Amino acid sequence: MATPRPGGRTARTKAQAFEAAAALLAERDAADIAMTDIAGRAGVAATSLYRRWGDVRSLLTEMAVERLMEDSPLPDTGSLEGDLRTWGRTVAQSLCSREGSAFFRILIATAPTEDADRVGRITALGPRIQQIYDLITRALERGEPAPGVMDVTDYLLAPIYVRALFGVPADQSVADRLVDRLLAMAKAGQLVSAPP
Amino acid sequence: MATPRPGGRTARTKAQAFEAAAALLAERDAADIAMTDIAGRAGVAATSLYRRWGDVRSLLTEMAVERLMEDSPLPDTGSLEGDLRTWGRTVAQSLCSREGSAFFRILIATAPTEDADRVGRITALGPRIQQIYDLITRALERGEPAPGVMDVTDYLLAPIYVRALFGVPADQSVADRLVDRLLAMAKAGQLVSAPP
């Protein structure tokens, strides 16, 4: 049994399940993890995990999203450049770690498809888009010229994601260069995407 | 039994297996496809599929890579701009189709990880990088200034891939704009990556 945590029974079960899932993920592929494995490791009843998450994929996705968002929260440095730089570095950094890369693979595996109504697929990539949206909205509220959500997705998030997929994760200098070029394009008026 | 194809028994078995795998993929998730399903649909012995591919994941990956490369072969228009534009459009277009998007998800699912020695993971994304390398090499041989392999990966391939992952596949106008900006950055000397 993991030690009890504040927040009542539900929060405790979730924390135990996520801890167990993350530990299992450090040992094997997500495809080789069953709900009963997580239940056994967490010391909770599999039925309560099924009741809450429906299937192991949804549990793994929610855990991966939560951990990745904890790894790279939305910064608030007071400037768009500062926010983009800090955010880009932390996103890149989290994908360089074995754990972060495993979490990322779960997100990718559950990314939207035709049957996008499935909760796991929706929750997988939405939070990152929300972070970008919030970061840009703040910049616009400060009166700063800002790129559009898809510009940040195309020129900062996408290269970091795809480099991770190609097995050559972006380090901080790569992340910085991506931010520099994104800001240079915005400054040069090369970006035509509308702000959010 | 599918109709025999030229190229002998091995080529015939492969063609039948790939056809069956593609057909099954149109019906269900890759995770729900077993080697025996493919063997049954193809009318070949599962043992011969196991002998050749080892596991169903490797078969699906090789099929997906082959189909995607057929969808968007390396163009040879005689100019870097023409090649990039044609290539970007066809890569984007293939990810807009239900079939292409399913093939892409298999590539992503088998993208390199720590255990990158596993063949399926190597073959998954390598061919695209090779296409980019060849495309740039040709441009350099013509004496054209060209971006580096990672520039094309970061600013053309990555946005197209990640938009597909986010469920908002890039259309041709998006692909064209990505090419325009990549060429503008190269022209403005904003790209610092070394050529291949």
> What CATH number is associated with residue B13?
1.10.10.60
Which pLDDT value is given to residue A168?
81
Q: Does one domain contain both A118 and A151? A: yes
Q: Does one domain contain both B182 and B109? A: yes
Put simply, whether B157 touches A (Cβ < 8 Å) is yes
Q: Does one domain contain both A122 and A181? A: yes
In a domain, A81, yes or no: yes
Inter-chain CB proximity A108 and B185 less than 8 Å: no
Q: What is the tens place of the pLDDT at every residue in A46-85?
A: 999 999 999 898 899 889 988 988 888 899 999 999 999 9
Q: Does one domain contain both A133 and A51? A: no
Full DSSP string of B113-165: -TTTTSHHHHHHHHHHHHHHHHHHHHHHHTT-----HHHHIIIIIHHHHHHHH
Put simply, whether A189 touches B (Cβ < 8 Å) is no
pTM as predicted: 0.84
In a domain, A61, yes or no: no
The pLDDT of residue B3 is above 80: no
How close, in Å, is residue A117 to chain B by CA atoms?
A: 12
Q: In Å, what is the CA distance from B31 to each residue of A31, A137, B14, B49?
A: 9, 39, 20, 17
In a domain, B92, yes or no: yes
Full DSSP string of A119-170: HHHHHHHHHHHHHHHHHHHHHHHTT-----HHHHIIIIIHHHHHHHHTT---
Which pLDDT value is given to residue A117?
43
Which pLDDT value is given to residue B6?
56
Which DSSP helix (H) or strand (E) runs through B63?
helix B56-71
Q: Does one domain contain both B47 and B76? A: no
In a domain, A65, yes or no: no
Q: Does one domain contain both B85 and B23? A: no
Q: Does one domain contain both B141 and B84? A: yes
Inter-chain CB proximity A184 and B163 less than 8 Å: no
Per the structure, the complete domain to which residue B96 belongs is given by 71-187
> What span, in angstroms and rounded, lies between the C-alpha atoms of B156 and A137?
26
- Please, which residues have CB within 8 angstroms of residue A115's CB and are 6 or more apart in sequence? A121
Q: Does one domain contain both A108 and A159? A: yes
What's the mean pLDDT in B176-191?
88
Q: What is the tens place of the pLDDT at every residue in A5-28?
A: 456 788 899 999 999 999 998 888
How close, in Å, is residue B138 to chain A by CA atoms?
A: 23
In a domain, B63, yes or no: no
* Chain B residues inside the 8 Å CB shell of A154: 155, 158-159, 162-163, 178
What ipTM was reported for this prediction? 0.82
Secondary structure class of A74 (helix, strand, coil): coil
How many domains does chain B divide into? Answer: 2
Q: Does one domain contain both B23 and B80? A: no
Put simply, whether A188 touches B (Cβ < 8 Å) is yes
What's the mean pLDDT in A33-46?
96
The pLDDT of residue B51 is above 80: yes
Inter-chain CB proximity A109 and B109 less than 8 Å: yes
Check residues A117 and B26 and name the one with the higher pLDDT.
B26
How close, in Å, is residue A106 to chain B by CA atoms?
A: 9
Which pLDDT value is given to residue B1?
47
* Chain A residues inside the 8 Å CB shell of B182: none
In a domain, B21, yes or no: yes
How close, in Å, is residue B158 to chain A by CA atoms?
A: 5
Q: Are A11 and A5 in contact (CB under 8 A)?
A: yes
Tallying the residues shown for chain A, one arrives at 196
Residues 45-84 of chain A whose Cβ lies under 8 A from any Cβ of chain B: none
Put simply, whether A105 touches B (Cβ < 8 Å) is yes
pLDDT band at A121 (very low <50, low <70, confident <90, very high): very low
Put simply, whether A111 touches B (Cβ < 8 Å) is yes
Best of B27, B130, B153, B165 to disrupt the A interface by mutation (most A CBs within 10 Å)?
A: B165
* CATH code at position A99: 1.10.357.10
Q: Does one domain contain both B95 and B166? A: yes
In a domain, B66, yes or no: no
